[in-house]
A and B are shown apart, each in its own frame.
Chain A
């Protein structure tokens, strides 16, 4: 497995020995078909609803209040993206989008405001690079996620990536999931800590179990989790699922959902509602029974479409010997200290492969320009021994297999492109969905707010404070959770409130959510006007610093308070409300009209939404 991938080779060798083969997720004929359908739609020969379903099935999401434009969602299975693919996305974003691309919280890359007539051209370019937009939206199995640490995580049982890839390949274009009641999400983790396994329809964590004296690879599988207007934490299906039953377990779950899922009420048709309404014990029995049926009836031909071995990366990566086998430990980094040290402190982590590091690129709410993408691509090509990168649910890039001796060069290259911001693995790396920048459902500009949070936190040097490091801030522009606010230490989702006589963009703040296998959902605290969110978080941090127990991190403190177990002056969420009451207070609109406007807007706030595109 991954450890044996590192062979002894010339330690001075940079970059990959051979690039990864083109994964061929895309198909040329689908691009032509799409172009044809657009023409028929424009000529009025296909109904709007039929076309919409077709469009979503092919990864084109309607843009905010403007049907002539699409958000093209590029599926990046397991979040793994090669240097060539990064280059291609740069070209596509420049030619047909707005000159920048956007990393989503589900390891997709999104191109916004693409004219509907150009979507097929984008698809054509992606096919060349082996990528697809097929089933990136719509009522299908969406992008299969995998922890960006899979393969390099010191705590993982084994690398889940080939399994994640094989599952993705199996379901892509598979007739069994072309018309599900609603979208379906599968997430792989690497260890207990990393990965969004408890907030997916199916979540899988690699594990090894001794069975009859043999070490058997397999997974701990969770079903029925998911984030949304009503969120649920997934249930453990059984203690251990051997790898031989991964496919049948996934197929059985998809089949159950397809058969029993609610096709009437769009607001309650994700599988988590089915699980909830059926009751877990009953659903669990149904799933295990269905699995047996699947195993008895699945033909060899079908099963052969699931090929983990073919997805294994069998390249031998050179051993990273030489200088800087270990990351220099900076006892203290300061915001005014050397920028490289500050960056290293919060953007690089050691891998289980000795001498190799995973390096993170801090993006603002996932935004990256075409020219930045090109510089990143060349850095990946030349300085990552695996020649590819992973997208992270924090909307950043993770570049793995960078040698310790190359870290400085890596940093310098990024710095020339404005890509060397610190804070990727800290509270400063705030997550924000697209919000009102492009989404029909959004009420607030969560995207810009996440950037504002990041800017302010980096300005204050909060990334250098290790006690804040494990805390997260995640922001959605509506209750639907694309910004994953419910698994944030401090989460926010957008809404509109009347304050006095004026409408104001406001966020509901949540406390104490977390990801991973022990993941919990955050609890709602109170509403905060958009223009007071940054102040509110800073006030919370101030209060934490005054009240914390020894060695207690911000995340731990927030979780404690969210459960009413605070020990100092702030014991419960009620205390938090009282603490923030003066902060969230807005002056009358006549005195400070700006306080009632949303970010990026110079006019009066109104909540305007249209039909969502999340469901086909």
Chain B
């Protein structure tokens, strides 16, 4: 890649804390990638770190997806990234359409896809979930937002990328998905629980009955869109949620915050997780019951 090595050799803009991290992490993932012979793709974990992504970009062995607004993409993005603003996905996120998008971006069945945003990972998570739902399991979230990527002085380019369309099979992972009916049934089923990932005050105001609150704000830390898995595990275990529970995440309207919570739970080792992408907005529009807490004027604590 253009200027990539040069940039790596001059980490001048890299923040002190990050710099050590980048150096420390550099070896292992890079080696792992190099072991693979050309044409064979590696399977990414839930979170892809910056160094792995840079290596994959260099080897042209990844499709990077930028889900920010089109104008942000035009102003500069991670090298080789294609643009898929979340709004474009949400215009029609039927499985057939999502597979079409993968094909449009030249993504083949086993190709690693790394997604990033500038919204603490929530938009990226929603797109990643959509890709995995239609059968592209090799999808990962970049560990950081584009803002951090830039602040670290990592490579950015401005040209628009397009790739030769490919074929991609459609294989729906229905175990990832929940609709209102499913949620309603789960409310009274043993071993199933609902997680609302909106902020605390929104949750207190109203939520789906029986839901527990894991606000998205507690999932990331210090520039990482998600905390380390053991930390997430501890925080969720503190809530007494059994490891074999089936968890359905939801948020306010389109499944972004809850998309991030979906991956946080996965990262924490909870394997049986579902997303209710239409979330509380649909639930309310269907006139389904909700829990409200009106005994305190907590909104007046807000300093805004």
Contact = CB atoms under 8 A, between A and B. Distances in A.
Interface of A: 35, 38-39, 42-43, 63-66, 91, 94-100, 102, 112-113, 115, 117-118, 120-121, 363-364, 367-369, 372, 434-438, 445, 447-448, 451, 598-601, 603, 608
Interface string B200-243: 11001000000001010110010000000000000100111000
Interface of B: 199-201, 204, 213, 215, 217-218, 221, 235, 238-240, 293-304
A39 B238 contact: yes
B196 to A, nearest CB: 12
Contacts of A438: 296, 298, 301
A600 B299 contact: yes
B304 A369 contact: yes
Contacts of A102: 301
Given A372-B303, A438-B301, A448-B300, A99 B217 contact: yes
A98 B298 contact: yes
5 contacts: A35-B238, A100-B303, A113-B200, A447-B297, A448-B297
Q: Which 10 A-B pairs have the closest CB atoms?
A: A367-B303, A600-B297, A448-B300, A65-B295, A64-B296, A95-B218, A117-B238, A100-B303, A117-B239, A600-B300
Contact of A437 (B213, B235, B238, B301): B301
Contacts of B294: 603
A368 B302 CA distance: 8
A434 B114 CA distance: 46
Contacts of B238: 35, 38-39, 117-118, 120-121
A113 B204 contact: yes
A166 to B, nearest CB: 34
Contact of B301 (A96, A112, A117): A112
B297 A112 contact: no
Nearest to A436: B297
Contacts of A121: 218, 235, 238
A64 B296 CA distance: 6
A451 B213 CA distance: 29
A98 B201 CA distance: 7
- Of the candidates A99, A434, A435, A436, the one having the most CB atoms from chain B within 10 angstroms of its own CB is A99
Nearest to A608: B295
A454 B290 CA distance: 36
Nearest to B227: A95
Contacts of B293: 66
Contacts of A35: 238
Nearest to B295: A65
Nearest to A606: B295
Given A39-B240, A98-B201, A117-B239, A435 B297 contact: yes
B240 A66 contact: no
Contacts of B296: 63-66, 436-438
A552 B254 CA distance: 62
A601 B294 CA distance: 9
Nearest to A603: B294
Contacts of B303: 100, 363-364, 367-369, 372
A363 B221 CA distance: 27
A117 B200 contact: no
Nearest to B300: A448
A369 B239 CA distance: 26
B122 to A, nearest CB: 15
Given A63-B296, A437-B296, 7 more contacts: A43-B240, A64-B296, A97-B200, A113-B204, A367-B302, A369-B304, A436-B296
A108 to B, nearest CB: 15
Contacts of A367: 301-303
Contacts of B298: 98, 112-113, 437-438
Given A113-B204, A117-B239, A117-B240, A98 B297 contact: no
A113 B293 CA distance: 12
Contacts of B302: 98-100, 367, 369
A112 B301 CA distance: 8
A221 B35 CA distance: 75
B235 A434 contact: no
A364 B295 CA distance: 22
A160 to B, nearest CB: 31
Nearest to A91: B221
Nearest to A65: B295
A118 B300 contact: no
A603 B297 CA distance: 12
A447 B218 contact: no
A437 B303 CA distance: 13
A600 B238 CA distance: 33
B248 to A, nearest CB: 19
Contacts of B221: 91, 95
B277 to A, nearest CB: 25
Contacts of B240: 39, 42-43, 117
A96 B297 contact: no
B168 to A, nearest CB: 38
